[in-house]
Chains A and B, each alone.
Chain A
Amino acid sequence: MKIIQMLPTIAYGDAVGNDCAAIYKILKDDGWDTAIYAENIDYRLPKGFAHRVSDMPSLSANDILIYHLSTGTELNKRLKDYPCRKVIFYHNITPPDFFKLYDPISFELCRSGLAQARAIAPHAEYCIADSEFNRQDLIRMGYRCPIDVAPILIPFEDYDKEPDADTMRQYSDGKINILFTGRIAPNKRHEDLIRAFAALHRDEPNSRLILAGSYQDGDRYAKRLKRYVRELELEESVVFTGHISFASILALYRTASVFWCMSDHEGFCVPLVEAMYFDIPIVAAASTAIPWTLGGSGVLLDEKNPELTAAVTRELMSDEVLRKKVVEGQRARLADFGYDRTADLIRRYLRRVIEGRVAEETAVDMAEGDAGVYAPEGSGI
């Protein structure tokens, strides 16, 4: 029996790519005949790590195809034609309306992605979602197969690497560094971060907002954000880093005072877990998967009031005891995302599929409340 992973694009160091690599290792360690196939393969990945979809061997009814679903692509349409068992790893597809005003290509990819995801539903034997929010998303899209939740596998040892010395120096200047990491995209609501920062900066002029994330030249959303920063007269205090090296990102985490997240749509939000790892107190607005990922830790706000975000941040900066409590809570939550723990969970789930025990065991888990092993207390999920 072959167990094949397939995805449209495998990129070096991104969340889906990391997940894919970790699952490959789990399957390989367990002695399965496994491989990764993608349409686009990042040139930075080791040669032979992933193969072209066009080179994929023919599959039989016994084989398992693990498909990573995260965007609109022709592969989604072809998935039903593979004559094998299909397992979907769902990493979420952003609702297209976020891109309507800014990016017609992303709009179309997300629009078609959601339509294709709905069409795949009857063909999936089993799904694993990154978060409870993603599980609910699948159910909303008509998935009636058993669905389990396993967080994204995060290789934490990478975060102990040496941070970029220049970036460390640049941001260790005594200023309060408010950090958000994530590509510049409308669903991340950078404008809400900037707006909250305007409120904070009014009373804390020695503060700086660092928006670490890549964007394309001519990106309309990025242009509009920069204009917003100019209008608020915050050019000196808001930094758009653009694409930066991993070592620089490590330096930004190491010099950050508080991590903010005001996203309107996240399927998991890896940066929250990264902030937990670096003991940076998190202030986040409750939306989509964010309450689940925080799991009762950090400071979760139920409204996006810039004055509230600023005032809460000032409290965290001035009250050492409170700050410590928040960080301790985050450390406790971080333990839930431990690599080995998550890898064991995924291994357990995959064995169910391989041994054909999915339906019974997922039903038992649900009955015992175990499907929510990662469900946070008081998150309402």
Chain B
Amino acid sequence: MIDNQAVRDMVSRVKDEIARMPHDCILDFDRIPIQDMNGPITVFSRRDMKDAAQRLMKSYKLIPERDIESDKPGMKGRVITILKRAARKSLRFYIEPICEQQTELNHLFACGFRQFTLAFTDMRPDIAKMDDHEDRIIRLEKLAKVNRARQGK
């Protein structure tokens, strides 16, 4: 007879410990859509969408002024830099409202995309189910076609 009392004790202790501990929720396999047999269905990856939403939230803001330098050496380079800065400053009245407008638009888009990503993540089990239904319909259609062919219709 195999004496595994020590193992049973350990499992029992570990069960108690994990019951008391908070845990991250691990994505359930059922939320992963099934791919069609005839080729992959284009479904956005939850992670890819989350990454894109994060990148958008970081980079939606347009900045009208940046550090201006010249790659020309010496006095010539310094003069060119001063002239560029002056030109940029003199055009600021024109560029800044455009940047603000674009920033606002980008921000709205980034927020909207983030909301969409969250909503999409919640919908994934339903999408997976729809994929399954679609797959079944395709198979049934194929079966019906074969049956019709057999019956000579």
A binding-site residues for B, Cβ under 8 Å:
101-102, 104, 191-192, 194-195, 198-199, 202, 218, 220, 223-224, 227-228, 230-233, 295-299, 301, 305-308, 311-312, 315, 319, 322, 325-326, 329, 332-333, 376-377
Contact = CB atoms under 8 A, between A and B. Distances in A.
Given A101-B132, A104-B139, A311-B18, A231 B4 contact: no
A377 B1 CA distance: 7
A307 B40 contact: no
Interface of B: 1-4, 6-7, 10-11, 14-15, 17-18, 21, 23-24, 26-29, 32-35, 37, 40, 45-47, 132, 135, 139
Given A220-B37, A231-B32, A312 B1 contact: no
B18 A308 contact: yes
Contacts of B21: 307
Given A220-B37, A223-B35, A231-B32, A325 B6 contact: yes
B45 A377 contact: no
A376 B2 CA distance: 9
Contacts of B2: 295-297, 329, 332-333, 376-377
A308 B14 contact: yes
B26 A224 contact: no
Contacts of B6: 322, 325
Contacts of A307: 18, 21, 23
A322 B1 contact: no
Closest 7 CB pairs of A and B: A191-B29, A296-B2, A329-B2, A311-B14, A307-B18, A228-B32, A377-B1
Contacts of B135: 101
A377 B37 CA distance: 45
A223 B23 contact: no
A125 B132 CA distance: 44
Q: Which of B1, B28, B46, B139 has the most CB of A within 10 A?
A: B1
Contacts of A230: 45, 47
B40 A223 contact: yes
A301 B7 CA distance: 10
B29 A228 contact: yes
Q: Which secondary structure characterizes the binding site on chain B?
A: loop
24 contacts: A101-B34, A101-B132, A104-B139, A191-B29, A192-B29, A194-B29, A195-B28, A199-B23, A218-B37, A220-B35, A223-B35, A223-B40, A224-B29, A227-B45, A228-B27, A230-B47, A231-B32, A232-B27, A297-B2, A299-B10, A307-B23, A311-B18, A329-B2, A329-B4
B47 A311 contact: no
B91 to A, nearest CB: 45
A198 B7 contact: no
Contact of B47 (A191, A195, A231): A231
Contacts of A297: 2, 4
Contact of A199 (B11, B26, B139): B26
Contacts of A192: 29
B14 A224 contact: no
B46 A231 contact: yes
B18 A102 contact: no
Contacts of B18: 305, 307-308, 311
A295 B4 CA distance: 11
A227 B40 CA distance: 11
A307 B20 CA distance: 12
Which of B2, B14, B35 lies at the interface centre, i.e. has the most chain A CB atoms within 10 A of its CB? B2
Given A101-B132, A231-B47, A326-B7, 5 more contacts: A194-B29, A199-B23, A224-B32, A231-B46, A322-B7
Given A230-B45, A307-B18, A377-B2, A202 B24 contact: yes
A299 B139 CA distance: 42
A198 B26 contact: yes
A312 B28 CA distance: 21
B78 to A, nearest CB: 49
